Amino acid sequence: MAQTYDVTLKALLRDTAGRAVYTATGLSIETWLDIELPKVANPRLDLLGETHDGSLLHLELQVSNDAEMPRRMAEYALAIFRIYRTFARQIVLYAGEPDLRMETSLEGPRFAFSFEVIDLRDLDGEALLASDHVGDNVLAILTRLRDQRSAIDRILRKIATLDETKREQAIEQLSILAGLRKLDKAVQEGIQRMDDLRELIMNNAVLGPGYKRGLEEGELKGELKGKLEGKLEGKLEGKLEGKLEGKLEGKLEGELTILRRLLRRRFGPIPQWAEERLSRQGVEDLEALSVRILDAGSIEQLLQ
């Protein structure tokens, strides 16, 4: 699932109309650059942009503490220099839940290298919530919110003003990022308070199944409590087993839907042979494929 978070964050930050990058770095991006670095172990930069004064800004997105980050950033720095003959300002944007523990330098005999790390929790969440750009509002979910329920309602009210296609995308992005702060349930509860958004998410191919399962699980808990009080344990156990089987099937379908979407964005239409191979994968296999997708050069390489 880490790759899913990275893809969502990248899509939100690439929008140059937003304030998030400026809030984090003090720089405004004029143009985002897409390059591959074939001589680096991880050949795809997360984000590389050119600022208004012509300097380069390299952003890497992390949702976990990576002990290899200094080495990776040093390799990226030299690879960017080989192409542009200038060094970029390098910043790691950390969106993980555990406390930030990554080293920010690499040193050796007559060698010293360093980069910046910014914990997204330290950004000004109020400034992002006040922005007229919904992408900034969504990114505010990763900051330290003084009143989580109020902030989520503000974000959802902004999303409700979008047209249906953009509204659906924004809800999906918010729901994904909420998982990094364990606010999934709070977002679902906020959606339940808004009739138009509730109906939209129920029909969403990616989020709908999980949302419906959450409602069903809530109903099941109430039903279980009542039946347990009525001493109908045998009947409850059978029904619970069926619900759990359905939950596993729903999780598999959800992982498959997300992976298909990432494959289409990365490689275009999915061939029939690839669909057949995906249909035979388990939940853990699909999660592993989602993590490897941006490093694969082709769908054949990914599924070989």
Give pLDDT tens digits for 58-115. 999 999 999 999 999 999 999 999 999 999 999 999 999 999 999 999 999 999 999 9
Burial class (CB within 10 angstroms; exposed 0-12, middle 13-18, buried 19+) of 257? middle
Give pLDDT tens digits for 206-227. 445 655 565 555 555 555 555 5
Q: What is the pLDDT of residue 102?
A: 96
Give pLDDT tens digits for 143-177. 999 999 999 999 998 988 888 788 888 888 998 89
What's the CA gap between 262 and 217, in Å, rounded? 28
The whole-model pTM stands at: 0.64
What's the CA gap between 13 and 134, in Å, rounded? 12
Domains for the chain: give ranges and CATH numbers. Answer: 2-122 (3.40.1350), 125-204 (no CATH), 209-297 (no CATH)
Q: How far is CA 250 from CA 3, 62, 178, 205, 245, in A?
A: 20, 28, 20, 11, 9
Give the other-Cβ count within 10 Å of 225's Cβ.
11
Higher-confidence position of 274 and 213: 274
